[in-house]
Amino acid sequence: MIKFENVSMEYSNGTAALNNVSLQINDGEFVFIVGHSGAGKTTLTKLLICEERVSSGRLEVNGFRLDKIRSWKISKLRRTMGVVFQDFKLFEKMTVYENVAFAMRVVGAKPSLIKKRVPFFLDIVGLGHKSDSFPSELSGGEKQRVAFARALVNNPDTIIADEPTGNVDVDLTEGIMELLVKINKLGKTVLVVTHDMNIIEQYKKRVIRIEGGSIVSDQIGGEIAE
């Protein structure tokens, strides 16, 4: 569960990024976070993965109180989340298999577990046959799928996707969204940061709109969320 209670965040240069934000996202929800550039979307996701700290208010994510979390616990928090970056952040010198395995290796997973789980998640994203390929040999959509497999492989509770359709063709957008829905059906909480209004309208999920650091609307399929 993710719970913001009167959360404000101000950068060290004095810029107020979030003002008194309160919201709750329950386990297993699928949520779009939308807003213009500079609205505070990125700050909100940075707070969730503890790349930035709240200035005031109470923030709870997957059982961790981020407003008072100690630095040695941050790595534990991050293991409960999988982040898919807009630019994929794949390693060009690693194969598809190695890219996904790397996410497991850095959290100290046993080699035997890595051998089991990586092929399984590559199959889920439909790339089992490309495990020996390098990122340069993949299409944009395939790279995005590798990024999803990598985010999923450590079995996180929450998946955060930052503009997942921003770098792919319109044709591939639907495939990526279907993959996200599939992940959500696995029981994961999915947060999609986007400004693509077409997919928001098409998928009829909860939409949280941020403007000027404040939540201006919170709707499910067009209705106000409770």
Partner 1 sequence: MKPSVFFYNLGQGFKGVARNSVMSTASILVLIACMILVGTFFVVIDTIDRNFNAIDDLNVIEVMMDKDYSESQIIEIGEKLSSICNDSPIIDWSSDQWTDDIVIPKHENFKYVSPDEHFELFKDKYQNQPWLDAFTDEHEGDHDEGTHAGITSSMQDNPLRGSFRITFINLSNFDEVVKVRNRIDSITVTDANGTEHDAIATEDIKDYAELYENVMSIKNALYVAGLWLMVIFLIISLFVIMNTIKLGVFARRNEITFMRLCGATKSFIRMPFIVEGVIIGTISAAISFGIEFYLYEYLLKGIVQSATGTSGVAAITAGDFWSDYAILVGIGFLAIGLFAGIVSSSISLKKYLKA
Site of interaction with partner 1 (CB under 8 A): 49-51, 53, 71-72, 74-79, 83, 89, 91, 102-103, 105-108, 110-111, 154
Query: Residue 18 and residue 43: Cα distance in Å, rounded?
Result: 8
Of 88, 85, 61, 82, nearest in space to 73 by CA: 61
Q: Closest CB to partner 1 among 52 and 142?
A: 52
Query: Between residues 58 and 79, which has the closer beta carbon with respect to partner 1?
Result: 79
Q: Compare residues 50 and 183 and give the one whose CB is closer to partner 1.
A: 50
**CB of residue 28 to partner 1, shortest distance in Å:** 21
Q: How far is the CB of 19 from partner 1 (least distance, A)?
A: 23
Q: How far is the CB of 74 from partner 1 (least distance, A)?
A: 6
Q: How far is the CB of 69 from partner 1 (least distance, A)?
A: 9
Residue 72 or residue 171: which is nearer to partner 1 going by CB? 72
CB of 116 to partner 1, least distance (A): 14
Distance CA 2, CA 39 (A): 20
